[in-house]
Amino acid sequence: MEGTLFNIFAGLTLLSAFMVVANPFSRNPVTSAMFLVTAMISISGLFVLLGAYFLAAVQILVYAGAVMVLFLFVIMLLDLREAARRKLNLISLAMGIMAVGALFSVYKSSLESTYGEAPQQHEAANTGQAEAKPAKVVGSTRALGQALFSKDNGFILPFEIVSILLLVAMVGVILLSRKEPR
């Protein structure tokens, strides 16, 4: 069950991410934005599978909600009809796929050498302490809030700094998008 859901969400994520980058049917940025929404929603499905319920909700709220509205507003504002007509350079696409594919295969082989044979050795080494395997955490709102605001090792100072960052970003956006910068 979980494996099937994982396959569905992972496939949907990768497919729609690829459609954001290189859609064979349309050059329109709005299509890319819509596929970005599907990618974000399926990523939040992966978060649910990982037990991060709060983050799944936040992912949908922030990305599918706020970020996507911003993107669509800007696409509307910029009038990119001419850009949509430009063709994707096939040579550069092939070169890009080759370069990124090489990088990804390095990553994949390092992943395989880390997690491929190692678990058997690791488990063979300490079969006695099978209980030592950490319990799977559930990122419910309560658990995450307690981790965030606990008194001894919480994240209260970073939380306050993030609130200042949001204020600075807001002021910066207003300053940048003013009509006549003085």
Partner 1 sequence: MEPTLSQYLLVSGALFAIGLLGVIVRRNLLIIYMSLELMLNAANVALVAMSRFNGNLDGQVMVFFIITVAAAEVSVGLALIVALYRKRQTADVEDLATMKL
Angle at which helices 29-49 and 2-21 cross, to 10° = 160
Closest separation in Å from C-beta 125 to partner 1: 18
Long-range contacts of 59-63 (CB under 8 A, 24+ apart): 63/36, 63/37
Task: State the nearest-atom distance from the C-beta of 62 to partner 1, in Å.
Answer: 5
Helix (H) and strand (E) counts in the chain: 9, 0
Nearer to partner 1, 89 or 126 (CB): 89
Q: Residue 30: CA atoms inside 13 Å, Cβ hemisphere, count?
A: 9
The least CB distance from residue 74 to partner 1, in Å, is 5
User: What 3-state DSSP class applies to 64?
Assistant: helix
Report the nearest approach of partner 1 to the CB of residue 144 (Å): 6
Which lies closer to partner 1 via its Cβ, residue 125 or residue 164? 164
**Amino acid residing at 7:** N
Q: Which is nearer to partner 1, 124 or 135 (CB)?
A: 135
